[in-house]
Amino acid sequence: MTILPVDPVANATPEALRAFLASCQELAVRDGRSKLVSISVAVDALDPLAVLESIFEPGEPHFYAERPSLDSAIAGAEAVLAVEAQGPGRFATVQRFVDTTLEDTIAVGDVSASFGGPHFFAAFAFNDRVENGEPFPSARVFVPRWQVARAAGRTTAVANLLVTKDAPLDRLAEKVWRAHKKFRAFEYQVDRGSESSTEGLNSPPVATKAISWKTEDNGDYPAAVRTALQHIGRGEFNKIVVARTRSIRSSEALHPLKMLNGLRQRFPD
């Protein structure tokens, strides 16, 4: 990966962005290969899940993961580059895809930040081949067009573009500029009043065993909690997570990200 000492914020204008993409296109023509251009910019504190919800397209690949205990979350959407593989050599195929992509990557901006620069989001099935009609292939990896991540108290937005020898630079520049303005003025900010505790993050991992257990309290949640405490008091368990089921009916198709975001706001813990 080639990291250029270019600050995309220092001269943040559509004209400067277009000129930068034109220089990348010259390199693509010179080398005879397309270039993955990755632009990383530090932005105001954002909720990656809310950003993903705002740009979510059902037909496009997307990815989201978070670790509240570490105040860390990352979201990616739309595939600028992708590959699928199967068979015993699927991992080697994915690795070659990653290596060759990075060889022709030009990165600028806050690349050294946590989750800065291009990232590869991958999913693998247990078997190296899957049956016809399965929803997921045995191996899939993609580079998202848009990526937003929060880590170590910082939020980084990344735009990944594929610049070919005949890429429409005006359209690419306009798309990135619109996203830049949107992230700068995004209305869904992180709630700074609910900081996650970092106590115990340096503790060594503890071996655990998880089981699923249903009480006979007939929906009486307080009684289920009392029963759980009795089992803990007798030393049968160290920790019990008591859960309740909830049935939801909707008059319209459920948006998976909106549902997840709504549940997370209603049950923040």
Same domain for 51 and 167? yes
Residues 132, 253, single domain; the answer is no
| Residue 82 included in any domain | yes
Does 52 fall in a domain? yes
Give the span between the Cα atoms of 176 and 245, in whole angstroms.
42
Instruction: Read off φ and ψ for residue 175, nearest 5 degrees.
Output: -65, -45
Q: Which domain holds residue 244?
A: 221-266
Instruction: From first to last of the 269 residues of the chain, give the pLDDT tens digit.
Output: 888 887 777 777 888 888 888 989 999 999 999 999 998 888 777 778 777 777 777 788 888 888 887 888 888 888 999 999 999 999 999 999 999 999 999 998 888 888 888 999 998 988 888 888 787 889 999 999 888 888 878 888 898 999 999 888 888 888 888 776 666 555 555 544 444 333 333 334 344 445 556 666 566 778 888 888 888 888 877 778 777 766 767 776 666 566 566 656 655 55
Q: Is residue 202 part of a domain?
A: no
Do 132 and 260 have their domain in common? no
Residue 173 forms part of a structural domain: yes
Distance of CA 262 to the CA centre of its chain: 18
Same domain, 172 and 255: no
pLDDT tens readout for residues 188-207 = 555 444 443 333 333 343 44
Best CA proximity match to 37, nearest among 134, 108, 136: 108
- Among 184, 211, 229, the domain-final residue is 184
Q: Are residues 243 and 139 in the same domain?
A: no
pTM (two decimals): 0.65
Same domain, residue pair 125 and 235:
no
Residue 182: predicted pLDDT: 65
Q: Indicate whether 21 and 144 sit together in one domain.
A: yes
- Does a structural domain hold residue 174? yes
Query: Which of 133, 161, 184 lies at the terminal end of a domain, its last residue?
Result: 184
Q: Is residue 216 part of a domain?
A: no
Q: Distance between CA 32 and CA 8 in Å, rounded? A: 26
- pLDDT at residue 195 in the model: 40
Note whether 146 and 77 are within 8 A (CB). yes
Do 155 and 225 lie in one domain? The reply is no
Note the pLDDT of residue 140. Answer: 92
Q: Which of 184, 213, 237 is the last residue of a domain?
A: 184
How much is the pLDDT for 91?
93
- Within-domain flag for 205: no
Cα distance between residue 144 and residue 111, in whole Å: 16
Q: How many domains does the chain have?
A: 2
74 Cβ neighbours under 8 A, 6+ residues apart: 48, 63, 64, 65, 66, 115, 119, 147, 148, 149, 150, 151
pLDDT of residue 208: 46
Please report whether residue 163 resides in a domain.
yes
* pLDDT tens-digit map of 109-151: 888 888 888 999 998 988 888 888 787 889 999 999 888 888 8
> 234 and 155 in one domain?
no
Does residue 94 sit in the same domain as residue 26?
A: yes
Task: Let me know whether 229 and 167 are in one domain.
Answer: no
Maximum Cα interatomic distance, the chain, rounded to a whole number of Å: 73
Give the distance, in angstroms, between the CA of residue 105 and the centroid of all CA atoms in the same chain: 20
Same domain, 138 and 239: no
